[in-house]
């Protein structure tokens, strides 16, 4: 498994994994199945990020969560493992192909009863949710040009003290590369700047995986 987190070479990454909560059998099988998909497997979050997300879910006592961008289901599995047995995670995605892999893993882990998957444009799914601030936790990891739209839909629905996690905020370092001006990079830079000045949240950007921002709603 090659390291995905910034600044880690292979020996340090292996040491990090060995001294944290390792992937369980279902998570490891999902990592291996996703790796067989080829280059697109890079969309899967790193195992150390998954362990962090499970821990954060438990730490805040989350019961209601939402995820934008599910892929083969590792991040959803991490969140669901941190939810109580009657918790609920709404997953927003558009790919039946990749989420079929996810569904199998969720069932194997015994957490599928906590997860609701909606295959539709995520912005539409989020707009259809009640505006009541009842979400405890949210995770955004989808098309980068719509990060702001997802954030704007989720934040009013997040309870005070709730967490909003955003993936890929360092974008393999391209956020600080003046020569990188593709749509995704420009969108992530603008999103990061917006969050940095948003007085509605406390935030920290971590060099975990491809960069993870954690926002706490004030």
- pLDDT tens for the chain, residues 1 to 218: 556 677 788 888 889 889 999 999 999 999 999 999 999 999 999 999 999 999 999 999 999 999 999 999 999 999 999 999 999 999 999 999 999 999 999 999 999 999 999 999 999 999 999 999 999 999 999 999 999 999 999 999 999 999 999 999 999 999 999 999 999 999 999 999 999 999 999 999 999 999 999 999 99
The DSSP annotation for the chain comes to: ----STT--HHHHHHHHHTS----HHHHHHHHHHHTT-GGGGGSPPHHHHHHHHHHHHHTT--EEEEE--TTSHHHHHHHHHS-TT-EEEEEES-HHHHHHHHHHHHHHT-GGGEEEEES-HHHHHHTS-SSS-EEEEEE-S-GGGHHHHHHHHGGGEEEEEEEEEE-SSGGGGGG-TT--SHHHHHHHHHHHHHHT-TTEEEEEE-STT-EEEEEE-
Q: How far apart are CA 129 and CA 156, in angstroms?
A: 11
Position 56 scores a pLDDT of: 98
Work out the widest C-alpha separation in the chain, in whole angstroms: 48
Position 2 scores a pLDDT of: 54
pTM beyond 0.85: yes
Q: How far apart are CA 46 and CA 110, in angstroms?
A: 21
Position 8 scores a pLDDT of: 82
β-pair type (201-206, 64-68): unpaired
Q: Are residues 26 and 111 in contact, defined by beta-carbon separation less than 8 angstroms?
A: no
Find the distance separating the first CA and the last CA of the chain, reported in whole Å.
38
Q: How far apart are CA 155 and CA 131, in angstroms?
A: 10
> CA 45 from chain center: how many Å?
7
Q: List Cα–Cα distances, 109 to 40, 80, 116, in angstroms.
A: 23, 10, 15
Q: Nearest 10 degrees: CA dihedral of 40, 169, 131, 91?
A: 20
Position 9 scores a pLDDT of: 85
Q: List Cα–Cα distances, 142 to 1, 48, 150, in angstroms.
A: 23, 19, 9
CATH number of 10-217: 3.40.50.150
Position 13 scores a pLDDT of: 85
């Amino acid at each position: 498994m090659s390291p995905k987190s910034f600044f880690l070479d292979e020996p340090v990454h292996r040491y990090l994994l060995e001294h944290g909560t390792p992937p369980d059998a279902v998570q490891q099988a999902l990592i291996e199945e996703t790796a067989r998909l080829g280059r697109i497997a890079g969309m899967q979050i790193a195992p150390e990020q998954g362990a962090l997300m499970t821990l954060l879910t438990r730490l805040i006592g989350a019961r209601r969560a939402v995820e934008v961008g599910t892929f083969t289901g590792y991040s959803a599995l991490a969140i669901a493992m941190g939810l109580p047995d009657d918790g609920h995670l709404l997953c927003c995605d558009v790919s039946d192909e990749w989420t079929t892999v996810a569904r199998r893993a969720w069932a194997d882990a015994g957490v599928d009863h906590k997860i609701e998957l909606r295959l539709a444009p995520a912005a539409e799914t989020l707009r259809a949710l009640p505006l009541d601030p009842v979400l405890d936790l949210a995770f955004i990891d989808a098309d980068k040009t719509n990060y702001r739209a997802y954030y704007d839909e989720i934040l009013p629905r997040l309870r005070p003290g709730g967490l909003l996690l955003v993936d890929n905020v360092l974008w393999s370092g391209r956020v600080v590369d003046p020569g990188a001006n593709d749509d995704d990079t420009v969108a992530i830079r603008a999103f990061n700047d917006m969050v940095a000045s948003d007085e509605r949240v406390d935030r920290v950007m971590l060099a975990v995986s491809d960069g993870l921002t954690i926002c706490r709603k004030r």
